[in-house]
Structure formats: structure tokens, C-alpha cells
Amino acid sequence: MQNMLMGRYIPGNSLIHRLDPRSKLLVMFIFVIVIFFAHDWLGYLLLILYTFAGVLLSGISISYFLKGLRPMIGLILFTVIFQMLFTPGEHIVFQFWILKISTESLINALYIFFRFVLIIFMSTVLTLTTPPLTLADGIETGLAPLKKIKVPVHELGLMLSISLRFIPTLMDDTTMIMNAQKARGMDFGEGNLLQKVRSIIPILIPLFVSSFRRAEDLAVAMESRGYQGGDGRSKYRQLKWSKNDFVLLLSIFILAALLLMWNAFK
């Protein structure tokens, strides 16, 4: 469970590390849309340069990004191969039965491949450079306008930050329960599928019960420290926009504008 990359944060003090999580989230969101604006090699070149700049500025070794790619590799290959085999095209390079590989389909497959890689790289930049907690803060303040339509933003933010805080605690619990069951003769990961599923129950139920106990203790501790809900609370953590955040936002808009312009001129 240690090699989970999701939400893994690598401390650092690079330009990207110092940015406001809200601007990073927003840019990430826009980037995913912008990526569909690109239809040819020049568009993709721009996107690749943009992503590459992000990776370089984060100051994190490229191997982390490749690791982030690993769990997705199956999906990427699957999609790319299907694109290659089933995209209709005129200039046939290779043909076998109903499977045709044309130059068009090759190019199309390459584009799909880059689309995947770029999105994964960009989101990895976001998660590697932003502590999960700050990310949660960013999401909470990002959702703040929704308060007007009665979305419980404070509660969502609190839930998110408590969940993040309890992930390592519950992981420890899981390992402890697994070891305790092993010590009593339980065999995990043996037998057929049904037996494997069944062997999860002795972990799951104690974990469930202990979570309830933790939740109750936590609720009492929160109440005794005067927690009465979101109203009338002040905030200790504060996010601050800096000049760099505006530059970042500007850069994604310029990228989008360039791509749109290039599409229009063609």
C-alpha cells in the first residue's frame, strides 16, 4: 500500500510548489478541455511544450511521472491499438483481413497516445507539488460560490480534510488487523476467487467497527472543543494569490487562444 501514487506529495520549494492550489486546480481543469482543441501536429507540439515546461518547473525527477503512467499503461495501449486498427484511411500501409493500418490511423493513434500522457503528466504535476491538505483547502474555497445555492461547502471541506487526515491511521489499522488475523491462522490471497473475497471479511468488519469507534471519539473531542458547525468560525489556514498565479492563468489562456487561432486559420 506504500506505492500508491494517488495524492502522493513530494515536498519541495519549486516555482510550481509555491503556487496557490486554486490556480493549479483551475489550470488543470482548463487544460483537460484545451487538449481537445488540438487537431494536428502543431497543436500537439504546443501542448507538449506546455506540459514539459510544467514538469521542468516542478523540479521533480521525470521518473516519478513515468511511475504515474504505469498503472494506466494497459488502458493507453488498448485504446491506441484499437485506434490504429479501426480508423478508416486511404493510404494503406498494412492490411490483414478486415484490419487495415493507414497513415491516418497511425497519426490518430499517436495523437490519442499523447492526449493520455499529457493529461496524466499534468495531473501528476498537480498532485506531486500540492500537499493533499492544501488541495482540499483549494477545493473548499473553489466551491465557496456554491454556498449561494445551499451546497454545504464547509461540511464538504471538513469531511475532505478529516478523511485525508485519517487515511494513514486507517491504513495502519488495516495492516494491524491483517497481521492479527494472520497470527490466528488466516490465509490471505490463497484459493479461488470466492475464497479470496471471503477472506477479506475478517479484515473489513473489524475495520468498520473500529472506524465507528474512532468517529464517535472524534465527534466527542470536536464537541468538547466547541465545534458547532461552520457558522461563526474563523479560519487558520489562508490561501493567497500571488503574481505567479495570474501568470499561470494567463499562460493557459494564451495556450487556448493560440490553439483556437491556429484551428481557425487552417
Partner 1 sequence: MNKILEVENLTFKYEEEQEMPTLDGVSFAVHAGEWVSIIGQNGSGKSTTARAIDGLLENVSGSIKIDGEILSSENVWALRQKIGMVFQNPDNQFVGATVEDDVAFGMENQGIPREEMILRVDQALKQVNMLEFKGKEPARLSGGQKQRVAIAGIIALRPEIIILDEATSMLDPTGRAEIMRVIREIKAEYNLTVLSITHDLDEATLSDRVLVMRAGKIIKSAKPEELFGSGEDMVNIGLDMPFTSSLAEDLRANFNLPEKYLNEEELADILAERLRK
By beta-carbon proximity to partner 1, the closer residue of 148 and 213 is 213
Q: Are residues 55 and 68 in contact, defined by beta-carbon separation less than 8 angstroms? A: no
Burial letters for 122-158: b for 16+ Cβ neighbours within 10 Å, e otherwise? bebbbbbbbbbebbbbbbbbbeeeeeeeeeebbeebb
164 binding partner 1? (CB under 8 A): yes
The least distance separating partner 1 from the CB of residue 217, rounded to whole angstroms, comes to 4
By beta-carbon proximity to partner 1, the closer residue of 220 and 260 is 220
By beta-carbon proximity to partner 1, the closer residue of 102 and 127 is 127
Distance of CA 9 to the CA centre of its chain: 12
The least distance separating partner 1 from the CB of residue 234, rounded to whole angstroms, comes to 5
Q: Which of residues 202-231 bind partner 1 (CB under 8 A)?
A: 213-214, 217-218, 220-228
Build a one-symbol-per-residue string for 233-262: x at contacts with partner 1 by CB under 8 A, - elsewhere. xxxxxx------------------------
The least distance separating partner 1 from the CB of residue 242, rounded to whole angstroms, comes to 18
Please write down the HEC assignment for all residues of 112-129. HHHHHHHHHHHHHHHHHH
By beta-carbon proximity to partner 1, the closer residue of 66 and 133 is 133
* Grid cell for residue 20: 496557490
The least distance separating partner 1 from the CB of residue 191, rounded to whole angstroms, comes to 33
Residue-wise DSSP of 1-23 = -TT--TT------STTTTS-HHH
By beta-carbon proximity to partner 1, the closer residue of 91 and 165 is 165
Out of 201, 232, 264, 265, the residue judged to bind partner 1 by CB under 8 A? 232
Build a one-symbol-per-residue string for 122-151: x at contacts with partner 1 by CB under 8 A, - elsewhere. -----------x--x---------------
By beta-carbon proximity to partner 1, the closer residue of 105 and 141 is 141
The residue ranges that bind partner 1 (CB under 8 A) are 133, 136, 161-162, 164-165, 168-169, 172, 213-214, 217-218, 220-228, 232-238
